[in-house]
Amino acid sequence: MNLVLALIAIATLTGAWRARRAGWRDPRLWLQPVAAVLLAATLLPPSLPVDVGTLSVLTPGATAEQQRALPWRARRVALPGAVTAASVEPVPDLATALRRHPESRQLRLLGNGLPPRDLDAASGLALRFEPAPEAGIVAIEAPARARLGTQLVIRGRAAAPAVRVALHDPSGAQVEVASVDGDGGFRLSAIARAAGSARFELRAYDAADALLDHAALPLLIEPGERLSLRYRAGTPDADAKYWRRWAQDAGLDVAYRAGLSEAMALSSDDPAAAALAPEALAASDLVVIDERAWEALSADETSALLTAVDGGLGLLLKLTGPLPPAVAADWAALGFATTPLEAPPAVTLDQRLAMRERAGFTAAPAAIRAAPALTPLLRADDGSLLAAWTARGAGRIALWTLLDSYRLVLAGEAGRHGSLWGEVIARISRPLPPSGQGPQLPRDSWIGERLVACGLGAAAGLQAPDGTVQTLLVDAAGCAAAWPGVAGWHQLQSGGASHALYVRAADDAAGLRALRDREATRRLAAVAAAGTVPVERPQRLPRWPFWLGWLGVVSLLWWRERQA
């Protein structure tokens, strides 16, 4: 090395002596030392200290700005899914990267964070996490199960530049569209129309209607129980008419009786079925009665009704007009104090029903007084209480003041009408016997990722949508892992029963997946070891910049010689 430098120095001094004869102002006099230095740097590039203890890891979502912000001498690797330059070293996982760079004591993570497979490999190391900006649909609040005919309410949040989110039903048809508010929030709704496993989908668009992200909404729609209901009305009305039609279409057993005069009453096919005898009440799940019918009850019927409520029967008190003083006193004793109003108030239910168009309704001329023992069942958009319930013994009693829910049917919203009443009946009616608890399944799973299910029997298997079955190895705790390779509905078979499990495609719900990795990486960084002292090691600079500089200077010298 010294010999090479000596030869370069001798050649430089010789050339400078020759150029001196042409005058001190000759450019060759100072270009030759520059060329000599560049040639020496090309042959023997200098070294600079490099921190080999810090490894920059580019995860999926790492932006070009984040990569440009890294020191040019930083060692960097890219995990699968990260979009990087060709010069960045790709690795299949973090464990492989650490084996290739055993000096690493600290990780600098850029992007959406580490996927589940890499979290264990990062334990014990110091972490510095620089998350990428959020993108797509980043949060979804939706039920995993629903009863047939009920209304589904989906809430979520989408990151900029998303301006609207559309909901598509299992057939692919667009059900509803919602604009994104200032915080990125949105709210959509649909009706569960067919029992079984269903796949709805959310799609986020920007201002130019370009698709930004899409996320499947897997839903298990369960058929409702065949409940036995009894309806006693003082007189027929439109709301009871449409309620009976809905209940019959929903497969409920309804015994109806409405008074027409002191000597006449309108009853169902079996007049005795609407009786409030103890034996009939014991076989019923819910009784609906308005204030006129309550006033006409005998003492024995009232006693039998309240005794049945203590045993678990549901009771819905339906207010259809001004409340008689005697009935008001009876209902106040049950926990429902009311305040008379001069006229039936007009109310709206757009927030509760997620209406596409504004619709007006009417409430009874009485306001329910709030009480600690009352649980709200239905509120108007202005916050007024339209229905509430309270517990009595093993049963529940509710007071309902909405007069014209049937307007939903007339407005073409029969699904919302059925969903409203289905939720009310499910909340108030006699509690059903508890069903057996199934296995604990993950809410979100993607193909190619490890999923864990617990609460399994000794023998378990996972059947893919294409019919192939993967036998699972169940540990002593009743848990098993699987790596599904096909997207769609899978069937987890355990203990002679089959349980539906949805596995997302690799490109599905990219925003949710990024949020999951981002939060998991933040939690890991919060408990990671403190930053380590840099481990510096000399590293030679690349030759090509010095060679290009030397070539340029030599070209100038050659041109000068030609001019001389």
DSSP state of 134: P
Question: Is the per-residue pLDDT at 400 higher than 70?
Answer: yes
Question: Is the per-residue pLDDT at 166 higher than 80?
Answer: yes
CATH code for 145-223?
2.60.40.10
pLDDT-derived band at 29 (thresholds 50, 70, 90) equals low
DSSP state of 138: E
The per-residue pLDDT for range 502-536, each reduced to its tens digit, is 999 999 999 999 999 999 999 998 887 655 555 55
Joined tokens for residue 359: 């619709």
Nearest to 250 by CA among 427, 418, 405, 426: 418
Mean of the per-residue pLDDT values for the chain?
85
pTM comes to 0.72
The percent of residues above 90 in pLDDT, for the chain, comes to 49
What pLDDT is recorded for position 350? 85
451-503: CATH topology: Immunoglobulin-like (2.60.40)
Give the start-end residues of each E strand in 206-354: 211-222, 228-233, 253-259, 265-267, 286-290, 314-318, 338-340, 346-348
Burial (Cβ within 10 Å: 0-12, 13-18, ≥19) of residue 83:
middle
* Beta partners for residue 258, in sequence order: 233, 266
DSSP letter string, 45-97? --EEEEETTEEEEE-TT--HHHHHTS-TT--EEE-TT----TTSEE-SSHHHH
Nearest to 229 by CA among 288, 308, 145, 155: 288
The per-residue pLDDT for range 215-248, each reduced to its tens digit, is 999 999 888 778 889 999 888 889 999 999 888 8
Question: Is the per-residue pLDDT at 392 higher than 50?
Answer: yes
Nearest to 76 by CA among 58, 98, 60: 58
**Comparing 20-34, 54-68, 171-185, which segment has the lowest mean pLDDT?**
20-34
Q: Per CATH, the architecture of 49-131+518-540 is what?
A: 3-Layer(aba) Sandwich (3.40)
Question: Is the per-residue pLDDT at 8 higher than 80?
Answer: no
What pLDDT is recorded for position 356? 67
Task: Tell me the average pLDDT across 110-125.
Answer: 91
pLDDT-derived band at 262 (thresholds 50, 70, 90) equals very low
DSSP letter string, 442-479? -S--BTTS-EEEBS--SSEEEE-TTS-EEEE---TTS-
The per-residue pLDDT for range 432-467, each reduced to its tens digit, is 776 556 788 888 899 989 999 998 888 889 999 998
Nearest to 213 by CA among 328, 135, 308: 135
CA–CA gap between residue 453 and residue 8 (Å, rounded): 71
Nearest to 399 by CA among 432, 416, 375: 375
Domain 228-428 is in which class?
alpha beta
Task: Tell me the average pLDDT across 143-148.
Answer: 85
Query: Which residue has better confidence, 541 or 243?
Result: 243
CA atoms within 13 A on the CB side of 470: 17
326 CA to centre of own chain:
50
What pLDDT is recorded for position 96? 94
What pLDDT is recorded for position 558? 75
4: Cβ–Cβ under 8 A, 6 or more apart, which residues? Answer: 40, 43, 44
Main-chain phi, psi angles of 382, to 5 degrees: -85, 5
Secondary element (H or E) of residue 402:
none
Main-chain phi, psi angles of 438, to 5 degrees: -90, -175
One-letter amino acid of 398: A
CA dihedral 405, 406, 412, 415 (to 10 degrees): 60
178 CA to centre of own chain:
16
Q: Does the bond joining 161 to the residue before it have cis omega, within 30 degrees of 0?
A: yes
The per-residue pLDDT for range 88-114, each reduced to its tens digit, is 899 999 999 999 988 888 899 999 999
Question: Is the per-residue pLDDT at 260 higher than 60?
Answer: no
What pLDDT is recorded for position 52? 59
**Comparing 244-248, 379-383, 395-399, which segment has the lowest mean pLDDT?**
244-248
Question: Is the per-residue pLDDT at 261 higher than 50?
Answer: no
Task: Tell me the average pLDDT across 125-153.
Answer: 88
pLDDT-derived band at 378 (thresholds 50, 70, 90) equals very high
What pLDDT is recorded for position 226? 81
